[in-house]
Amino acid sequence: MADLSGLIFFLLEIFLEVSASYSVSGLYRGVWYQPVEHYALLGQSFMNISGISAVRCSVRCLSHHGCFSFNYDHINQVCQMNNASADDVCDNLQGMLHFSYYDAAAKPMTCQNNFISGNRKCAPVKACWDFEKLGLEDGSIPDESLSASSNWEGRGNSTTTGGRLNKTPPSNLIIGAWCPTVPDTNQWIQVNLGNPTYVTGVLTQGRYNVAAQWVTKYKVQFEPPSPACLVDVKEQLGQTQIFNGNTDQNSTVERHFFKPVLAVKIRIVPVEWEWFIALRFELLGCK
């Protein structure tokens, strides 16, 4: 019986090896994985397995009762099985250039945004490299999907929805941009995309008319479908990417990510600004 179980396990590994993609979108027990690339969960590894693929690593993790996630070292082909997921210890999810992090929690395979269905199965569409506006400017992303760390109240009030690209204020009592209560690097504005969506870049503007205020540098954070942690968008060398923003109030500046990210939330975090933080923006990607 043990020999039969071992043979079934081996055949399952081979099947997954030939049927899954490099990113382990896949398949075992009706679940799928979406990697957080260039990241690893540190300090939680209880077993390392050398010389296996990421797909076989996924099978090993799902078959081990103590494995909740795994890191995969693409250079050395090492599978690191973790005794926790990043949902439990978000702060331990750190940038690692040649690694990918996979949350091994079983999830039903359902066809959502960026997936196509056929023969009662779901399959990922090809990776997105489009730069289509995702709906902040035209309002297809609803107001309730926008949130912020704070909004200015005083001589004119800021609203989170004022952060939409090309938004003009309805009256002199409303500021023509999103402005937080204080200008520091703890401020942010966030979009909840609902379904997992490929995001490829950002368009930014400063404050409409009146005051010369704009964001000159910012970073972007995203929450992948799993884990429920915000992670920084990275540049080519695996470091947090700092984007150059605006040099005036109304010009639109377009910036692209080094590679698309699959996200359910996107957060813009101003790093430097002119006079005060004031931002209008749009997200780019694949609808």
Rg of the chain over Cα atoms, rounded to whole angstroms, equals 21
Residue range 160-195, pLDDT digits in tens: 999 999 999 988 889 999 999 999 999 999 999 999
Report DSSP letters for 21-83, one per residue. Answer: -TT----GGG-----EEEEEETT-EEEEEES--HHHHHHHHHTSTT-SEEEEETTTTEEEEES
Q: How far apart are CA 186 and CA 183, in angstroms?
A: 8
With 60 as the cut, is the pLDDT of residue 13 above it? no
Q: How far apart are CA 252 and CA 202, in angstroms?
A: 10
Q: How far apart are CA 165 and CA 147, in angstroms?
A: 15
Which superfamily is assigned to 132-285 in CATH? Galactose-binding domain-like (2.60.120.260)
With 90 as the cut, is the pLDDT of residue 7 above it? no
pLDDT of the residue at 145: 98
- What does pLDDT average to over the chain? 84
Residue range 36-75, pLDDT digits in tens: 888 999 999 999 999 999 989 988 988 888 999 999 999 9
With 80 as the cut, is the pLDDT of residue 24 above it? no
- Extents of the domains making up the chain: 2-109, 132-285
Q: With a threshold of 0.85, does the pTM exceed it?
A: no
Segment 6-33 mean pLDDT: 42
Residue range 150-166, pLDDT digits in tens: 999 987 899 999 999 99
Looking from the CA of 26 toward its CB, the CA atoms found within 13 Å total 24
Say whether domain 2-109 belongs to CATH 2.60.40.3140. Answer: no
pLDDT of the residue at 105: 56
**Angle, alpha carbons 188-191-192 (nearest 5°):** 130
- Do the domains at 2-109 and 132-285 have one common CATH topology? no
